[in-house]
């Protein structure tokens, strides 16, 4: 199944979601770093880009940025919206929360490399702490993309509900967890945390939601 899935993603990305040299450099640096290749796929990057162009958010929040592969897809869409703004007043920004200090430094380098420094802001710290601070400061994000520690997914949902205005969009990655969520024999903590999140989102009175079966499952929730 995974071979067939890889070919399908390749088929889509060759036609609709080609990675340029800068995105390829980010992936090369990620590989050279020796950590897991836990970035989103190119098809999903393109999907996020299209969503940004559709929603035209003023501010986007990403929780969990790693080397910045997903951030660059999102921030490039914001940058193209800024360029298309006839009034040249758009100040749309992607705010990235990343708990790892070394990753924050790499992220900053990658935003410089891709000329996206103007429309990005990096926040070093835990997603929970920084989202809570943003709530206290009255910040609003028309789009939030969560791709961080699975154990906190349900907490991120509570916080996102306070940061997203009516009509805004919450996206959460890895909600199918390689299909483990549907296997009752699998009972590890991460899988259970994602199941709990999925159930909580499905029943949440503030969101109308579903899971899109792109890559590892992307929860897609519109705030009522």
Ligand X SMILES: C[S@@+](CC[C@H](N)C(=O)[O-])C[C@H]1O[C@@H](n2cnc3c(N)ncnc32)[C@H](O)[C@@H]1O
Per CB under 6 A, residues contacting ligand X are 38-40, 63-66, 69-70, 97-100, 103, 126-127, 147-149, 152
Do residues 160 and 133 touch, judged by C-beta distance below 8 A? no
CA-based end-to-end distance of the chain:
37
Report the residue number, 66 or 207, with the smaller CB distance to ligand X.
Answer: 66
State which residue has the least CB distance to ligand X. 64
For the bound state, the minimum distance from the C-beta of residue 140 to ligand X, rounded and expressed in Å, comes to 20
Report the residue number, 171 or 201, with the smaller CB distance to ligand X.
Answer: 171
Report the residue number, 126 or 192, with the smaller CB distance to ligand X.
Answer: 126
Point out which residues pair with 44 in neighbouring strands.
Answer: none
CA angle 163, 26, 157 (to 5 degrees): 20
For the bound state, the minimum distance from the C-beta of residue 99 to ligand X, rounded and expressed in Å, comes to 4
What CA–CA distances, in Å, run from 93 to 9, 175, 186?
29, 26, 39
Point out which residues pair with 123 in neighbouring strands.
Answer: 97
Report the residue number, 149 or 196, with the smaller CB distance to ligand X.
Answer: 149
Report the residue number, 85 or 105, with the smaller CB distance to ligand X.
Answer: 105
For 213, residues 6+ apart whose C-beta sits below 8 A from its C-beta are 176
Q: Positive or negative, the Cα torsion across 104, 133, 95, 157? A: positive
For the bound state, the minimum distance from the C-beta of residue 19 to ligand X, rounded and expressed in Å, comes to 12
- Strand ranges (DSSP E) for 41-112? 59-63, 93-98
For the bound state, the minimum distance from the C-beta of residue 133 to ligand X, rounded and expressed in Å, comes to 13
Report the residue number, 38 or 55, with the smaller CB distance to ligand X.
Answer: 38
For the bound state, the minimum distance from the C-beta of residue 36 to ligand X, rounded and expressed in Å, comes to 8
For the bound state, the minimum distance from the C-beta of residue 58 to ligand X, rounded and expressed in Å, comes to 21
Do residues 44 and 218 touch, judged by C-beta distance below 8 A? yes
- Strand ranges (DSSP E) for the chain? 59-63, 93-98, 120-124, 143-146, 169-172, 207-212, 218-223
């Amino acid at each position: 199944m995974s071979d067939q899935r890889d070919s399908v993603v390749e088929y889509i990305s060759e036609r609709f979601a080609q990675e340029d040299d800068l995105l390829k450099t980010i992936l090369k640096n990620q590989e050279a770093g020796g950590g897991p290749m836990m970035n989103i796929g190119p098809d999903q990057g393109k999907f996020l880009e299209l969503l940004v162009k559709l929603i035209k958010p003023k501010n986007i929040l990403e929780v969990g940025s790693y080397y910045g592969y997903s951030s660059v897809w999102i921030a490039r869409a914001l940058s193209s919206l800024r360029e298309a703004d006839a009034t040249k007043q758009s100040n749309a920004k992607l705010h990235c929360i990343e708990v790892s200090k070394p990753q924050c430094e790499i992220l900053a380098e990658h935003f410089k490399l891709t000329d996206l420094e103007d429309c990005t802001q990096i926040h070093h710290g835990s997603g929970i702490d920084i989202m809570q601070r943003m709530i206290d400061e009255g910040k609003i994000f028309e789009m939030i993309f969560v791709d961080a520690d699975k154990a906190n997914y349900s907490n991120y949902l509570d916080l996102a509900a306070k940061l997203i205005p009516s009509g805004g969009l919450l996206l959460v990655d890895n909600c199918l967890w390689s299909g483990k969520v549907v296997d009752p024999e699998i009972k590890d903590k991460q899988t259970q945390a994602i199941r709990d999140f999925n159930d909580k989102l499905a029943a949440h009175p503030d969101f109308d939601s579903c899971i899109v079966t792109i890559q590892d499952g992307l929860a897609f929730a519109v705030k009522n």
